[in-house]
Chain A
Amino acid sequence: MNRRLSTRGRRELTKPAVYAGLVVIVALLPLFFGSPYIQHMLILTFIYIIAAVSFRTIVISGQFPLAHAAFMGIGAYLAAMASKWLGLSPWITIPLSALVTAGIGMLIGYPFSRLRALYYAMGSLFFGIGVIQIIYAGGSWTGGYSGLTGIPALLPGTISKIPYYYFFLGLALVSIIALYRIEFSRIGTNLKAIAQSHVVASSVGINESGYRILAVGVGCFFVGLAGAGYTHYNMVLSCSSFNFMATLWLVMYVLIGGINSFAGPIIGTIILIIIPEFFRDLKMFSPFVTAAILGIVVYLMPQGLVSLPQMVRSRLTERRNTKKVSHAS
């Protein structure tokens, strides 16, 4: 008992130190990787980490949204249109379109909070497809099928990717901390309570539909932020980045990392974006690498990649124990 307490105490101290160390390492990465392509991939990783973590915030409330990439698209297109047609500065369009995305999410979340489980997932899937069709039908306003080009840059005049790198690193950190605080506060507990039993949750006074809408609002705010940031970084938008398959890939990022853990989406996004990059030479065959990663996780790690250290540890102790037994006999 005493020993367990002391390890827990030590972990309380080492945890923040480990996280700070990780952040420092990530912040120093551009020094080692000068290639703009690698920096570009890392920036995309930051953007998708925000999207994946905010996806999970909605999931803990017991809702499985399949419109998350579409909401990223709403944020992206709102920011693009506001800066391109209204001439607003990207520094205004990014927070503004995140707020509007959250508003749209909550507006849609209200009727959708009537739908449960699979029907919610599918209803949101249809909504996401509808959003993409509306963008296609938007003509010159949204660029339709050919996409939108000539969007003002966030940091005009910089050719180097490094300023963008630090901007998105900061954005990802702020988002992760905010979503972490929400999940491990009373709000997060209430969301998890609703997910476990909505009848019991309302019987103790938790406003079920209110909290479900709040979760959607928070999730959409951050994914809108990611989308708007992406717009002013990429400066070119195409609808296909936000369609149903894009949502499905976001879901994969979350599931492969482990949906039951806060770190899951972060780890999953990093693995699924970075590892296939090592196999770029395979060209047409490279999707097989992604499929292989997914397959390994599905068959060997039921709880996702976050459970890997624990699995290794238990395998090791098992081996040690069997050795002991064989020694004894």
Chain B
Amino acid sequence: MELIIATLTNLLILSSMYILVALGFAFLFSMLGILNLAHGVIYMLGGYIGLTLITALGLNQWLALLLTTLIVATFGIFLEKYCFRPFVGDFNRIVMICVVITVVLQTGVNIIAGTQILSLPPFAEGIFKIGPASVSYERIVTFAIGAVLLLAVTWFVNRTKWGQQMQAISQDLEGAYLQGINVHRISALATFIGCGLAAIAGCLMGAYLCLGPFMGDFMLVKVLMLTIIAGVGSIGGIFIAGLILGSLDSVLPLLVSGAASNATAIAILVVLLLIRPQGFFGHEVEL
């Protein structure tokens, strides 16, 4: 019973965090074709800024979370303007600039914080009991934040004017220009939201698991898997793919031990991709 509950909550938390980070990545990719390989380090940056604000400045945790989100999201606007926008349509240079961002941020964090594994203080303490089952408040809070944010983003994309403009751009960039949509402003907004979400996920995961300079690489791989399994251009697909990935990552280690469980997860994903060469909900993309 303990194990089932622990696995289930772990599944929900991992899935919601993967989806949070992947959404920001998917916004940029489906709108402007930017393969943002730096999204992983932005997630890492969020965790470290959160930690710095809490430990070095002694801020309240929730305030720190909010500030981190704003700082990283603003940094996202800067990235969009100076690093992504000049190279839209040039896949090779986008990949290169993302590696530059990754190297700079990772080295910077390495120099300032060192390579040791750190972690944020938990966002909630105590254990919630119902009958024989018990769940830590931290897990509940983490998942709740994730779920609320996901609902909010879904609402934003589907119900607001800006969200609908984002969808229009991802369907037809030129058409959107001709319709008078301010593509630059919308893509800046999408990057703002995407980086903000990644930063929140970084803080939450930094408290739930741990912080390390290379945690971004791990998350980047997850995000790429998620986007591809979902199929490019599908927001709904990301939710399903996120659940698939989260369950593989939380359930498989119980069945298969060690590195073999990672290998199994990858094998399952590769087979899924070969069955549906365009992902489950996506369309073909030219590089």
List chain A positions with a Cβ less than 8 A from chain B.
Answer: 64, 111-112, 114-119, 121-123, 125-127, 129-130, 133-134, 136-137, 144-145, 244-245, 248, 251-252, 255-256, 259, 284-285, 287-288, 290-291, 294-295, 297-299, 302
Contacts and interface: CB of A to CB of B under 8 A. Distances in A.
B287 A117 contact: yes
A127 B285 CA distance: 20
Contacts of A130: 263, 266-267, 270
B260 to A, nearest CB: 4
Interface string B72-107: 000000000000001100101101110110011011
11 contacts: A64-B287, A121-B287, A123-B274, A130-B263, A130-B266, A134-B263, A252-B99, A259-B92, A288-B103, A298-B100, A299-B86
B259 A129 contact: no
Interface string B251-280: 000000011101100110110011001110
Interface string B212-237: 00000100010011001000100000
Given A111-B274, A119-B279, A298-B93, A129 B221 contact: yes
B224 A122 contact: yes
Contact of B111 (A119, A251, A284, A302): A284
B2 interface: no
Contacts of B106: 287
Contacts of B103: 287-288, 290-291, 294
B81 to A, nearest CB: 14
A133 B269 CA distance: 14
B110 interface: yes
B277 A114 contact: yes
Contact of B100 (A117, A129, A295, A302): A295
Nearest to B279: A119
Given A117-B286, A245-B217, A302-B90, A127 B107 contact: no
A231 B225 CA distance: 31
A117 B285 contact: yes
B270 A291 contact: no
Interface of B: 35, 37, 86-87, 90, 92-93, 95-97, 99-100, 103-104, 106-107, 110-111, 217, 221, 224-225, 228, 232, 258-260, 262-263, 266-267, 269-270, 273-274, 277-279, 284-287
A114 B287 CA distance: 16
A115 B217 contact: no
Contacts of B97: 294-295, 298
Nearest to B231: A119
Contacts of B107: 284-285, 287-288, 291
A64 B110 CA distance: 31
Given A119-B278, A298-B87, A133 B266 contact: yes
A126 B222 CA distance: 10
A145 B259 CA distance: 9
A125 B223 CA distance: 12
Contacts of A251: 95
Given A115-B277, A117-B285, A117-B286, A302 B269 contact: no
B220 to A, nearest CB: 8
A298 B96 contact: yes
A319 to B, nearest CB: 25
Contacts of B221: 125, 129, 244
Nearest to B108: A288
A252 B96 contact: yes
Contacts of B263: 130, 133-134, 136-137
A144 B262 CA distance: 13
A245 B213 CA distance: 14
Nearest to A288: B107
Contact of A133 (B37, B262, B277, B279): B262
B115 to A, nearest CB: 10
Nearest to A259: B92
A126 B287 contact: no
A137 B286 contact: no
Contacts of B104: 287-288, 291
Interface centre among A121, A122, A256, A297 (most CB of B within 10 A): A122
Contacts of B266: 126-127, 129-130, 133
Nearest to B282: A119
Contact of B110 (A123, A126, A284, A290): A284
B55 to A, nearest CB: 22
Contacts of A299: 86
A127 B274 CA distance: 12
